[in-house]
Chain A
Amino acid sequence: MHLVLFFIFGGFCVAGALNLLLQRHPINSALSLIVVMTSLAVLYLLLGAEFLAAVQVIVYSGAIMVLFTFVIMLLNAQREERTHGSRAAYILGFPGAAALFALLTFIFISNGKSLGFAVLGPDMVSTSQLSSVLFRDLLLPFEVTSVLILIAILGAVALARHHEPHKDESKTQGKER
């Protein structure tokens, strides 16, 4: 049962990813990405990470991808034009990708036991177990990550802010008075 579901949603995931690359309209690509995210959530669920699965749907499929589609709709993006691609991509890219894939497969197959594994099954990791790992055992990395995200947010705000000359500001303030 779990294995069947794993193959179904793994298939969805790969098909969505391929469709994402092949579609020419940005909104179709965005929708394929949603399919990928949601099937990933189901895979997490099959591995017993229920909290992660729900958060995956809420954050990635629900919030981030809504912003993607929002931007696509706002800019009214049209179909992309196909180019032949650079020659470097053909000469270096395909062999490089194939080599990387072969290397990773080799490592996973030869050192599979030492990398650890998760079992498909009905055992669920409860939210309280997860939180005790996050907030007790891995507290420092967790807090450092949150600071990192905070810095990223501040950076985004700083970049997006309008730098208006001082003269204009004083003018508008004068008007308000």
Chain B
Amino acid sequence: MNFWWFLLLSIIKIAVVLVILLTAVAYTVLLERKVVGRIQNRWGPSRVGPFGLLQPLADGLKLFLKEDLLPTAVYKPLYILAPVIALACALTSIAVVPFGADIKFKGVDLFQIANVNIGLLVILAVTSVGVYGIALSGWSSNNKYSLLGALRSSAQLVSYELALGLSLVGVVLRAGSLNLRTIVDVQATHGALSWNIFGGFQIVAFFVYLTAAYAETNRTPFDLPEAESELTAGYHTEYSSMKFAMFFMSEYANMITVSCVATLLFLGGWSSPFGHLFPSFGPVIDAILPVFWFVAKVFFFLFVYIWVRGTLPRFRYDQLMGFGWKVLLPVAIANIVVTSLWLGFTRPL
């Protein structure tokens, strides 16, 4: 593997993935506004461009041109650092996600920025550092609503991270690896039948993961940190212009990452639901088709995110904590015990 080829291709990959991710973030916002609009029996954005398709562009332009307010009472270094941490962590974790089959060009993986042995742990680590963005923004704003939002958010994230991490153990046990490619390869043998959610009997873990992930990304029904009716806007009350936009982008980028992880761990990643039923279509289509499946599955998860938002009301705070500790955590632990017993009895050591 030539070093310069590696460097060049890596930079191109990073640029392409970032552009696609940020575009996806913008259009997820539009999708959310459209779908929630339809759920609430109205049209959603429809004026800017055909079907409102240019709305994200207009929104971005508006946020970019707004005045960047800096309230007098804020603690300036952390107030500026907080949105940077949030966005940086949200964008970093996508680096280990494989988008398609293992195809090498000059020894460099084409559909993954970095193939790491402990990819799953890297995603967990980066998202766990992302909490500081929210926590510090709330504290440094010097505003009681922000502070309450930040406190809620850190308590919520610490509580649900346990259930989230434990729900993934079943999948890791089945694959015997923390490498995301290996985890997908294990599920790719018999199409949809061997996906972890069906053939791996990880459906309980799947729902625990999904619930905990909704809480991790501060989405309804767990959006207590920014509950409008109680906290104005929660942790980003004092933020305006691009700093606010950075929080907004990080929230949606986190949603996309969570959807990617759910796809990789439970729905077989880029593997086709039909397995090897169809013959090969030639090298180019064989390279692009997995990416199509991956994107379709991620889109499905994003749609579910929005669907849940349009359907469920917000939890009360004590309900949220009780649910996390008394329901999700025991269920996740029980899933680990059952999965290990099953694997221990069915597989020779």
Pair B151/A127 contact, Cβ less than 8 Å: no
Residues on A with beta carbons closer than 8 Å to the beta carbon of B125: 54, 57-58, 61-62
Q: How many Å from the CB of B303 to the closest CB on chain A?
A: 29
In Å, the complex CA distance between A55 and B129 comes to 12
Q: Which of B121, B139, B158, B177 contacts A66 (CB 8 A)?
A: B158
Q: Which of A62, A74, A126 contacts B128 (CB 8 A)?
A: A62
Pair A66/B122 contact, Cβ less than 8 Å: no
Residues on B with beta carbons closer than 8 Å to the beta carbon of A128: 176
- Whether A62 contacts B129 in the complex (CB less than 8 A), given A51-B121, A74-B151, comes out as yes
Query: A19 interface residue, CB < 8 Å from B?
Result: no
For B128, give the chain A residue with the smallest CB separation: A62
For A127, give the chain B residue with the smallest CB separation: B178
> Interface digits, A109-141 against B, CB 8 Å rule (1 contact, 0 not)?
000000000000000101110000000000000
In Å, the complex CA distance between A38 and B161 comes to 19
For B121, give the chain A residue with the smallest CB separation: A54
Pair B178/A73 contact, Cβ less than 8 Å: no
For A25, give the chain B residue with the smallest CB separation: B75
Pair A69/B128 contact, Cβ less than 8 Å: no
In Å, the complex CA distance between A66 and B138 comes to 13
Pair B135/A66 contact, Cβ less than 8 Å: yes
Q: Which of B117, B118, B139, B155 contacts A27 (CB 8 A)?
A: B139
* CB contact list, B101-148 vs A, under 8 A: 116-118, 121-122, 124-126, 128-129, 131-132, 135-136, 138-139, 147
- Whether A124 contacts B128 in the complex (CB less than 8 A), given A62-B161, A74-B151, comes out as no
In Å, the complex CA distance between A95 and B301 comes to 62
Query: A67 interface residue, CB < 8 Å from B?
Result: yes
Query: A63 interface residue, CB < 8 Å from B?
Result: yes
Pair A54/B132 contact, Cβ less than 8 Å: no
- Whether A66 contacts B150 in the complex (CB less than 8 A), given A51-B121, A73-B138, comes out as no
Query: B211 interface residue, CB < 8 Å from A?
Result: no
A-B contact count (CB 8 A): 75
Pair A67/B158 contact, Cβ less than 8 Å: yes
Residues on B with beta carbons closer than 8 Å to the beta carbon of A55: 121
In Å, the complex CA distance between A55 and B122 comes to 9
Pair A57/B129 contact, Cβ less than 8 Å: yes
Residues on B with beta carbons closer than 8 Å to the beta carbon of A34: 132
Query: B154 interface residue, CB < 8 Å from A?
Result: yes
- Whether A66 contacts B131 in the complex (CB less than 8 A), given A58-B125, A73-B147, A127-B178, comes out as yes
In Å, the complex CA distance between A36 and B310 comes to 42
Q: How large is the interface on B (under 10, 10 to 19, 20 to 34, 35 or more residues)?
A: 20 to 34
Pair B128/A51 contact, Cβ less than 8 Å: no
Residues on B with beta carbons closer than 8 Å to the beta carbon of A31: 78, 132, 136
Pair A63/B135 contact, Cβ less than 8 Å: no
Pair A66/B124 contact, Cβ less than 8 Å: no
Residues on A with beta carbons closer than 8 Å to the beta carbon of B126: 57
Pair A73/B132 contact, Cβ less than 8 Å: no
Pair B151/A70 contact, Cβ less than 8 Å: yes
Query: B212 interface residue, CB < 8 Å from A?
Result: no
Query: B157 interface residue, CB < 8 Å from A?
Result: yes
Residues on B with beta carbons closer than 8 Å to the beta carbon of A62: 124-125, 128-129, 131, 161
Q: How many Å from the CB of B175 to the closest CB on chain A?
A: 12
Pair A70/B117 contact, Cβ less than 8 Å: no
In Å, the complex CA distance between A124 and B116 comes to 11
Q: How many Å from the CB of A38 to the closest CB on chain B?
A: 8
- Whether A127 contacts B158 in the complex (CB less than 8 A), given A66-B132, A73-B151, comes out as no
* CB contact list, B27-52 vs A, under 8 A: none
> Interface digits, B152-190 against A, CB 8 Å rule (1 contact, 0 not)?
001101100100010000000000111000000000000
Residues on A with beta carbons closer than 8 Å to the beta carbon of B147: 73
For A74, give the chain B residue with the smallest CB separation: B151
Residues on A with beta carbons closer than 8 Å to the beta carbon of B158: 63, 66-67, 70
In Å, the complex CA distance between A44 and B117 comes to 15
Residues on B with beta carbons closer than 8 Å to the beta carbon of A66: 128, 131-132, 135, 154, 157-158
Residues on A with beta carbons closer than 8 Å to the beta carbon of B138: 73
In Å, the complex CA distance between A164 and B125 comes to 40
In Å, the complex CA distance between A93 and B136 comes to 35
In Å, the complex CA distance between A34 and B125 comes to 13
Residues on A with beta carbons closer than 8 Å to the beta carbon of B155: 70
**What are 7 pairs between A and B in contact, CB < 8 Å?**
A27-B78, A27-B136, A27-B139, A50-B116, A58-B121, A62-B129, A63-B128
| 11 extra interface residue pairs, beta carbon distance < 8 Å, beyond A54-B124, A63-B161, A67-B158 | A27-B136, A31-B132, A54-B118, A57-B125, A57-B129, A70-B151, A73-B135, A73-B139, A73-B150, A124-B117, A128-B176
Across the A-B interface, give the 5 residue pairs with the lowest CB-CB distance, nearest first.
A62-B128, A54-B121, A57-B125, A73-B139, A70-B154
